[in-house]
Structures are given as C-alpha cells and as structure tokens.
Amino acid sequence: MSGRPPVRIANFSGYLGDRYTAIDEAVAGDPVDVLVGDYLAEITLAGLSARCQEDPARGYVEYFLDQLRPHLATLAQRRVKVVTNAGGFKPAALAQAVRALAAEAGLDVSVAHVEGDNLLSRLPELAAAGHRLEHLDSGRPLSSWGAAPVAANAYLGGWGIARALAEGADIVVCGRVTDASLVLGPAAWWHGWSSTDWDRLAGAVVAGHIIECGPQAVGGNFSGFTGIPGMLAPGFPIAEIAEDGTSVITKHRRDGGAVTVDTVTAQLVYEIQGPRYLNPDVTVHLEDVRLAPVGPDQVRVSGAAGSPPPPTTKVALFAPIGHTVVNTLYVTAPQVEEKVDLLRAQLGNDLPPGVDELDITRIGTAATDPETQWDATVALRVMATARKPEPLERLDLARRLGSLYLQSIPGFFLDGQALAQVSPQPRIDYWPALLDLTAVAHRVVLADARTIDIAPPEQTATAHQPTHPEPEPEDAAPATRVRRVPLGTVAYARSGDKGGNSNVGIWARDRAAWPWLRQALTTAELRRLMPEARGLDVVRHEFEHLHAVHFVLRGLLGTGGSSNLRVDQVGKAVGEYLRAKHVLVPETLLTDAEHPHDAH
C-alpha cells in the first residue's frame, strides 16, 4: 500500500444536462486531487445515440469542452486530474479535442482515453462466437429482440482509468465505464491497490455510487429538502477515500446544500437492484455499510465488503423501434371523468392505419371547491406511437387537438404560449444485455498513441441477491393507538430506474420508527399503496443499518426509460408518490415526526 493520505475526489456532473457552471464551482471551491464528471445515464445515452445517428461527429458531450476551457491552465498548475465519461460514443475524438484546447493555450497536458466499450461493429463477431447477449431480466437472447441496434456499449471497470493515471495522464476521457469506475480508478491509482483488494475496491465503488449523481448527495432530489440550507443551488459532493477503502463524503464549504446521513442514505439506495451491487471490478455487499456523521457536512462511510466480480458485464444496446408524437391539453372541473371519457373517444376515433397506440394519461385531480381556476384544472397528456413516421404525420395530433375547441367538452383548452409538437420524434428502445468480461477489449490509449490492454479480472464469481423473508405479524410490538398520516411523515424515500425496472428505497427518518417501518412495508402493502405494482414482480430487501426497506418493481418502466409511455418515464417520482400515501402509524412515533426538523 502507498501510505498516502485520503484522495479527495470531487464530482462536477451527474448527468448530461447537469449544471453548466459545475467546473467553475469546483475550481473555486476547496482543494481536491481529482475531478470526475458523469454524463451517461441510460436515458441520456439513448438520446446521445439518436444524436450520433443524425450526425456522427456529435457522439461525445460537446459542452464539456466549453466547461473545461477556462480552467485548463489552473487545473494543470494545481496538478488536479480530470476523469470523465463525456467521451460517449467517441472518446478518442473528445480526447483529441481536449488536446487541441491545451495546445491553443500552450499547456503541456497529457490526455488519454479509454476505449473498448463500443461493441456495435463487433455484434456479428460476438454472435458468431456464441455470445447470446441475454437480456439482464428476461434471459432472452439478443436475436429475439427484432430491432436493429444503433448502439452497443459495454460497462467497463476502473482499471483502465487507473492505468492511464499511472502512465502520467492528466485528463482521462472515457466512454461507457460504470459510473462508480470514475471514482474507483483514481482511488486504486492513488493508493496502489491490487485487483484483488476486494474490500478496498468495494469501498471505492460505494463512494463512487454516492457522489456519481452530483448534488443528489448534497440535498438535491431529497425528500427532506426543507431542512437543507442553500437549496437554491446545492453544491457538488467530494469523496475523501482512505487507503482502507473507507471514505468521508463532504462538499465544498462555500457551496449550498448539506451532507447528512440521510442525504447519503438517499444516494446509497438509489438505482440499485438489492444488497449485491455488481461492478466489473468487484461485487459490493451493501448490507453492512454504515454511515456516521463525523463533522459538519461530513459523513463517514464504512463496512462495505467486496468479493470477486461477476463473470459478465452489462451491455447497453439501443435501437429505434418507431416514432412518437406527444402534446398536452387541459380539462376543467366539474365532471372531469365524463369530459376525459369524451375526449378519449374523440381523439381515438378514426385513427389512421399504422398508428400503434394512442396513450392518454390524466395528470392531477381537481379540487372539490377550487379557490382558483387552476385548482379546478387537470392535464391530459396525449401520446401516439407508430413504427413509421408517416401514420403520425397523417394523424396530425396537434391539428386534431386544435379541432376540438368547438365540438368537444366545455372547459377544454391548450396552452396558447406553448409550441405544439408537430413532427414525430424517434422512439429508442433499450436492451440491457450480459456479456462475458473476457469478450470485452478494454484498452487505454495514451497521449503518445501507445495502447495498453487491460486484462479481465482473474477471479470472478456469480453473485445472487440474498433473500429476505417477509416480516411475520408477531414481529411487531402491539400498537394501542394509531393515526392515519402520510407515510412521508415518518419516512424518506428515493426512487430511480434500472432499465425497465424501477427501484425505491424507503427509510425511517428516526431510528425509533425502523421496527415499525420494517414490519409495515411488506410486499403486499407496497402493492396496496401502489396499484400500478399489483401485477408486477416485486422484490423486497432490508438494509438494517440504513433503517431502510428496498423494493425493485420489475417492468414498471416497460423495457426502459427511453421507450415506455409513462409520464414519469424513469420512475423518479415513485418514492415521493409512496410518501404521499396515507398509512396507520403508531402515535408514539408521531410526536416529533409531524414537526419539521433538520435532516440528521
């Protein structure tokens, strides 16, 4: 081991479209050793693939260059490393563009890139070699999809990044590495870890998972946001990762937001499939992770255990499956049900051949005695899909909606200040596949054009999620008096997406509520609270040290966020929806919970 102090790794992007000024803020903030930027969520990768099809030169995140340009000299002077997956589908092209920026500024900056994730051209070769690229959830082979992929990217681990840094790279540009690899790579390089330091690697993956989504670890998208200061612009997080793999999550002191046990818990339970968190470099066992405040805006993360990674890695494949057009109209009370029924019939009448679906979703409920007109208003989202754009062009949804003004319901209107969507947009489907790690050509290309192959892990092991039995009724202490209140009175939640699955973690705001929460949130109760989940396969796990119950709702998001017809495409609001549902809670837990207080 190196004996070096903890490495300070600061995030500056959580997704494609995150706050543009983030690198400005990081450079003006507290000293760090490495800056990492994550741009590639599944749904944003789908959007980037569509852009790349239209213009092959637009395969990387172009505005990263504009973010970086003003700070290249300062970062070089401070010897701060930069690692990002902004390379998207063209990491080599982005690396060359960064070199051009450095040359313009007269800076000696070494830029490397990591490649091998882009498998699109290799799909026939992989199929011929017997790789079935089975769907992660269904197990079906890729050959059964019936769609022609336009993108296929394997999730790479962090050892390519580590090697690039060891070879002297100042900036490392990646394509589709795992989000946590952006942190694991620098931590492994800094501390000189080996590829079998499972617990240390697991700790780095946990730290990477916590900070990968930027301000989410600092109060963004957090159920307890009213107790977080500076929410006008919550800052970006920093992970201080020690040699033993434990970490302290913090933030730049000058920035808004807060780092608390709850904001870190929110990120820990976000977009996971259960206690086994799979990574190409290590399988992380999350059930023993412990969080403890160690100072203002400082939370210590410990207890992560690791074991060999699975023998496969995920491959994100995207393919166009048709087109969509969508618009929104508004309905005014009273008789909302009857009005929606007539609109549904009128809009669906005499559809052109080739229109596959006309999905009409009512959003909101009118107040019983509305104080304002808007309290009496509900929205109706109308989406049509078709394999080809021509049926949607013949449908002309915007015109069809506009023609209803004089022949439909009273109180119907469109937003006159909003542009109607006229042209059909591509509909991109997602196929999360599994591929043997040995079939992935993970490579590092250095500034001098030398190429270094990164070997697959020598040890692998198939991992299975543990089974947690449903609570038995006798486990609960008898409650003499209960009151019906929103679940959010005593619990926080965070939800997200993994392909067609939505996950939601719900944890007790106060540890005293944990025994009740664990007992109350059974799979049956989840289905009762959320009618949309009644026909789904629901997987339930418990995280005792986080005081959390975690559910995976398989298939809630169809085949993925980029193609399903839900308004909440990627399930980001599922957690808050559940917190709004009323449940019976023991009165002994409500004394403090009903009065707002700062997140602990």
What is the rounded average pLDDT of the residues 355-375?
Answer: 97
Q: With the CA atoms of 551, 552, 554 and 560 taken in that order, what torsion angle do they form, in degrees rounded to the nearest 10?
A: 130
pLDDT for 520: 96
> Which tokens hold the place of 222?
């957090």
Question: For residues 233 and 597, which has the higher predicted lDDT (pLDDT)?
Answer: 233
Tokens describing residue 423: 């042209």
Q: For residue 53, what are the contacts with CB-CB under 8 A and spacing of at least 6?
A: 150, 320
**In this predicted structure, what is the pLDDT of residue 47?**
75
Domain with CATH 3.30.70 in the chain: 322-429
Distance CA(183)–CA(12), nearest Å, equals: 12
Q: What is the pLDDT of residues 308-334, one digit of tens each?
A: 999 999 999 999 999 999 999 999 999
Alpha-helical regions (H) of 498-586: 514-520, 523-529, 574-580
d(CA 550, CA 563): 25
Mind giving me the DSSP string for 162-195?
A: HHHHHTT-SEEE-SSB-TTHHHHHHHHHHHT--T
Range from 319-328, 451-460, 591-600 carrying the lowest mean pLDDT: 591-600
| Mean pLDDT along residues 529-542 | 95
Residue 283 has pLDDT above 90, yes or no: yes
For residue 595, what pLDDT is reported?
A: 58
| pLDDT in the model for residue 413 | 95
425-445 average pLDDT score? 96
d(CA 339, CA 337): 5
Q: CA gyration radius for the chain?
A: 25
pLDDT reported for residue 218: 98
CA distance 236 to 320: 35
The one-character DSSP state at 334 is: S
Q: What is the pLDDT of residues 155-189, one digit of tens each?
A: 999 999 999 999 999 999 999 999 999 999 999 99
Q: Mean pLDDT, to the nearest integer, of 139-156? A: 96
Q: Which of 538, 290, 562, 254 is nearest to 429 (CA)?
A: 562
pLDDT, average across residues 469-497 = 85
Query: Where does the pLDDT of residue 600 fall: very low under 50, low under 70, confident under 90, or very high at 90 and above?
Result: very low
Q: For 49-64, what is each residue's pLDDT tens digit?
A: 777 777 777 789 999 9
Question: Which residues lie below 8 Å from residue 535, measured CB to CB, with a gap of 6+?
Answer: none
If pLDDT is split at 50, 70 and 90, which confidence band does 335 have?
very high
Task: Please state, for a pLDDT cut of 70, what percent of the chain lies above it.
Answer: 97
pLDDT of 416? 86
The dihedral formed by the CA atoms of 224, 228, 231 and 236, expressed in degrees to the nearest 10:
-100
Q: Residue 593: which pLDDT band, with cuts at 50, 70 and 90?
A: low
Report the run of H or E that residue 144 belongs to, with start and end: none
* Token pair recorded at residue 335: 């008789």
Spell out the residues 6+ positions from residue 267 whose beta carbon is closer than 8 angstroms to its own: 209, 210, 211, 213, 216, 217, 494
pLDDT number for residue 53: 74
CB atoms within 10 A of CB 31: 10
Question: pLDDT for 53-101, tens place per residue?
Answer: 777 777 899 999 999 999 999 999 999 999 999 999 999 999 999 999 9
Q: Specify the pLDDT at position 45.
A: 76
Place of tokens 């992970």: 239
pLDDT of 477 higher than 60: no
pLDDT of 255: 97
- 34-47 burial, b for 16+ CB within 10 Å, e for fewer? bbbbbbbbbbbbbb
What is the average pLDDT value for the chain, to the nearest integer?
Answer: 94
- Do 540 and 466 form a contact (C-beta atoms < 8 A)? no
Enumerate the H helices of 451-533 as residue ranges.
514-520, 523-529
**Which residue shows structure tokens 């100072």?**
295
Q: Which residue has the higher pLDDT, 477 or 289?
A: 289
- Residue 348: predicted pLDDT: 95
For domain 322-429, give its CATH number from 3.40.50, 1.25.40, 1.10.260, 3.30.70. Answer: 3.30.70
Q: Give percent of the chain above pLDDT 90.
A: 90
Global confidence as pTM:
0.95
> Residue 163 has what pLDDT?
98
Whole-angstrom distance, CA of residue 331 vs CA of residue 155: 45
Mean pLDDT of 379-407: 96
Summarised one tens digit per residue, pLDDT across range 11-42 is 999 999 999 999 999 999 999 999 999 999 87
Helix/strand/coil for 386? strand
Mean pLDDT of 109-129: 97
Which pLDDT band, with edges at 50, 70 and 90, does 599 fall under? very low
